[in-house]
Amino acid sequence: MNGIYTLANDKVYDQVVALLNSIEVNIGADFPVCILPYDTNVERLQAEIAQRPQVTLFEDQDSLQRWDNFTQKIWDLHPIAKSFWYRHQLTSTPEEYYRITMRRKFCAFDGPFDQFIFLDADVLVFDNLNRIFELLNHYDWVTYDFLYRQPNQAFDLKAIQKHNLFTEEQLSKVFCAGFFASHRGFFDQTEMEQLLGYLAQGEIEVLVPRIPDQTITNYMALRPGRSVYNLAQALPPEQRAGNCVTSPHFQNIDQVLYDRGIRLTYLHYICVTSKILTAVSQGENIDFPYRDEYLYYRFLKEPDQAPQFSVDQPAIDYKALRPQTTDGASPIAWIPDPLYRKANQIVQKVTALLNC
């Protein structure tokens, strides 16, 4: 059986509703979805699941604990991860782990679906995904994004070189952890212990604490040597569609987005925080790309409850609400730090000129 997983709790309730509605409309009302619990805060999600017979909540506590423990063991090996998170105010104590339960997305390998697609909750689906599942008959992992152009947004490349770890071909397979397809049964206890052994021997240095989900997901995809197929690389340029919310040129036709006439497989609101998506669902006039599409799917089944924004009230630009960094590190995983710092310098110079 094929199915879709997402990782969520009640803090991202509005996003999950939008995602589920987009799946119902563009794939089918009976397509199975399983929600992996980020934590125990899932009361609203449970009420929503009760109204959707095709949706279930993952409840295998042994699997959840196994992946939590595995992630803790990984970061216990890292020489600076905890101090990095504490220094950047991502954790409240130097001993605390940062977003440890993000690794619960890998419970998908223990779940009910023989072949699955994992989607972050801040995604809208616009295609039936048949092509993705068909490719799983030939490959271990299937992805569709453009992160392969920036392997430094998955690994510490100097450490990769030091340990002679991945070939150029392997590094060209890095992908965004918010969308991937794979198979049930990978990563049994023996394989997990083997990966921990590699990390303990020094490979832990290739992991980047700033992007913990991205770095671990890619390590676990590439280190065992399994096949990875990225549609964004494999398709001819004229057949590729984008998927990132920052691309301004997508066209809405009947509540489906198209890229130069090519139907999007999915749209990832990767730069729009969950707080913003929740706030706009509650009526705050915050503007971000493809807001109308998000609100359409969020309130598909209750359109009378959709927020109505006054034309007399100017919207707040979502970029003004994004978290700011103090050390020049990029807050966006796929934008390299040097490029982010350079862009900030240009903005500061332009602002200074305008204020003269």
In a domain, 299, yes or no: no
DSSP 56: E
In single-letter form, the type of residue at position 122 comes to D
Contact 34, 58 (CB under 8 A): yes
Any idea what the CATH number is for the domain that residue 25 is in? 3.90.550.10
Same domain? 233 vs 343? no
Q: What pLDDT was estimated at residue 173?
A: 94
Co-location of 214 and 82 in the same domain: yes
State whether 211 and 65 are in the same domain. Answer: yes
pLDDT tens digits for 216-266?
999 999 999 999 999 999 999 999 999 999 999 999 999 999 999 999 999
Over the chain (356 residues), the average pLDDT of each successive run of 10 is 98 98 98 98 98 98 97 96 94 94 96 98 97 98 93 93 93 95 97 98 96 95 96 95 95 98 97 95 96 98 94 87 60 51 53 36
User: Are residues 157 and 46 part of one domain?
Assistant: yes
In a domain, 141, yes or no: yes
The pLDDT value given to residue 351: 37
Domain annotation covers residue 109: yes
Q: Is residue 83 located within the same domain as residue 227? A: yes
Identify whether residues 214 and 343 lie together within a single domain: no
What pLDDT does residue 176 have?
94
Predicted local distance difference test score (pLDDT) of residue 339: 56
Does 275 map to a domain? no
Residues 209, 356, single domain; the answer is: no
Domain-ending residue, one of 203, 237, 271: 237
Answer yes or no: is 258 within a domain.
Answer: no
- Which pLDDT score, from 0 to 100, does residue 313 have? 82
Question: What per-residue confidence (pLDDT) applies to 352?
Answer: 38
In a domain, 143, yes or no: yes
Tokens of 90: 């991502």
The predicted pLDDT at position 321 comes to 86
Q: Which of 198, 213, 237 is the last residue of a domain?
A: 237
233 and 333 part of one domain: no
Per-residue pLDDT reduced to its tens digit, 157-174: 999 999 999 999 999 999
Please give the residue range of the domain that contains residue 225. 2-237
In a domain, 298, yes or no: no
Tokens 């999950």 map to which residue?
16
What is the count of structural domains for the chain? 2
pLDDT digits (tens, 9 = 90+) for 101-134: 999 999 999 999 999 999 999 999 999 999 999 9
Q: Which of 237, 263, 282 is the last residue of a domain?
A: 237
Rounded Cα gap, residues 140 and 211, in angstroms = 24
What pLDDT sits at residue 353? Answer: 38
The pLDDT, as a whole number, for residue 348 is: 47
Query: How far is 22 from 13, CA to CA, in rounded Å?
Result: 14
H or E, element range at 162 = helix 157-163
- What pLDDT is attached to residue 346? 58
**pLDDT number for residue 356:** 32
> Whole-model pTM above 0.75?
yes
Q: Are residues 221 and 342 in the same domain?
A: no
Task: Identify whether 54 is part of a domain.
Answer: yes
Residue 33's H or E segment, with its range, is strand 33-37
Could you tell me if 79 and 211 lie in one domain?
Answer: yes
Q: Measure the N-to-C terminal CA separation of the chain; round to a whole number of Å.
A: 64
